[in-house]
Amino acid sequence: MNETLVTLVRGLIGFFTLLILTRLIGKEQISQLTFFEYVLGITIGSIAASLTVDIGVDPWPQWVGLVTWTGAVIALQFITLKFRRAEKYLNGEPTVVIMNGQIMDDALAKMRLKLDEMLQLLRQKGVFDLGEVEFAVMETSGNLSVLKKSEHHPVTCKDLNIPTTYKGLGTELIYDGIIISQNLRQVNLDRQWLDSQLRKQGIADPSEVALAHLDTNGELYIDKYRDRVQNPTDPSDYPGVQ
Amino acid sequence: MSKFIAYLIPALVLTLFAAVLLSPQFLKEPLGPNDDVAAQITTLENDISREDWTHAQADLKTLDNTWQRIVPRIQFGLDRENIDKIDTGIAQLRGAIAARDKGEALVSLNAVKKFWQDIGR
């Protein structure tokens, strides 16, 4: 048995299986995962690692295990998406831990969350004074959502009756030196317009541009490959390789 | 890329992986002449039963060569332990035949036979 070759092949099988299966699971961010989903992720990763390096074990059952766990996650996602009651039952519900400025001690005890831990979560949300909090809700993901009392809300443009302009999503027109024609057509512009804009900034060819981004106000941001910063700030305190 | 192709590629890749991992089931079967381990085990069993040690030695060599030729094509879907067991069984068999020990030779041969049958199960 050629162990190197077997590990290499098994590694590729594990890697691409994991890639495909995690794409199937979806786009949930780490911060949105419930504790159970977090543990599921670790288990699936651990099976994939074992499939790769544990050549003393038959790989087929491990691969089937990997697919089974992912299938179970997808099935659970489908059930919680379709049936609200099942979602509440399986994922739990958000818990109010501060209501009208009062700490709900029973709710904290039920979640086995210490007061110190809740204060820490509040500080992480930028709240250092409990008196500012109207409501705090512990989400199923373990994140704390905080609603401050209205007098502590930051002033917005609306409060001051300041008119604002629409700010939508910008469009990338050049990426990595290549013009994205589809995006150019989407914003009803053409190559001539883009070329003229580039010439205005002294750029002869789009290949000199790393990124060109058009915002909804029609302003074009261009980043060239050749940076013209004379004295770049170096935040490092390590001299590096001379 | 059309939605069909976007789904087809991962489906094909997963099918290919499953085929590689299950390949010992099919690739252990003879693919040409002198490639039939099961038949060679039976021949060797007859040699040992008849205590025909000269033929047994030659047939064991053939069996070992065939096994060494098959290992590279089935190794990706097999655990190392299974391969090691057959290697060890063949080594024990070699010793038993050299010592002309019928009992020990049959025990080792039957162990090899069982490990061979377990491949791809």
Asked if the model's pLDDT at residue A151 lies above 60, the reply is yes
**What ipTM describes this predicted complex?**
0.82
* Nearest C-alpha in A relative to B9: A20
Q: How many whole angstroms separate alpha carbon A101 and alpha carbon A86?
A: 32
pLDDT digits (tens, 9 = 90+) for A38-64: 788 889 889 999 998 888 888 999 999
Q: How many whole angstroms separate alpha carbon A7 and alpha carbon B27?
A: 19
Asked if the model's pLDDT at residue B18 lies above 60, the reply is yes
Residue A28: pLDDT band (50, 70, 90) is low
Interchain proximity B13–A10, CB inside 8 Å: no
Q: Which of B14, B76, B79 sits opposite A17 (nearest CB)?
A: B14
Indicate the helix (H) or strand (E) that contains A195: helix A191-200
Residues of B in contact with A20 (CB under 8 A): 10, 13-14
Q: Which residue has the tokens 């500080």?
A: A123
Interchain proximity A58–B78, CB inside 8 Å: yes
Q: Which two tokens stand for residue A38?
A: 């977090």
pLDDT computed for residue A241 by the predictor: 60
Q: Which of A164, A161, A120, A151 shows the shortest CA–CA distance to A138?
A: A120
Number of A–B residue contacts, CB under 8 Å: 48
Tell me the residue type at B98. Answer: A
Indicate the SS3 state at residue A23: helix
Interchain proximity B76–A10, CB inside 8 Å: yes
Mutate to test the interface with A, among B76, B78, B84, B121 (most CBs of A within 10 A): B76
Interchain proximity A58–B82, CB inside 8 Å: yes
pLDDT digits (tens, 9 = 90+) for A223-240: 988 877 777 777 777 776
Residues of B in contact with A59 (CB under 8 A): 21, 76-79
Query: Highest-confidence range of A51-55, A85-89, A120-124, by mean pLDDT?
Result: A120-124
Q: Which of B35, B26, B28 shows the shortest CA–CA distance to B82?
A: B28
Q: How many whole angstroms separate alpha carbon A134 and alpha carbon A152?
A: 10
Rounded mean pLDDT, B86-114:
92
Rounded mean pLDDT, A199-210:
89
Residues of A in contact with B81 (CB under 8 A): 56
* Nearest C-alpha in A relative to B6: A20
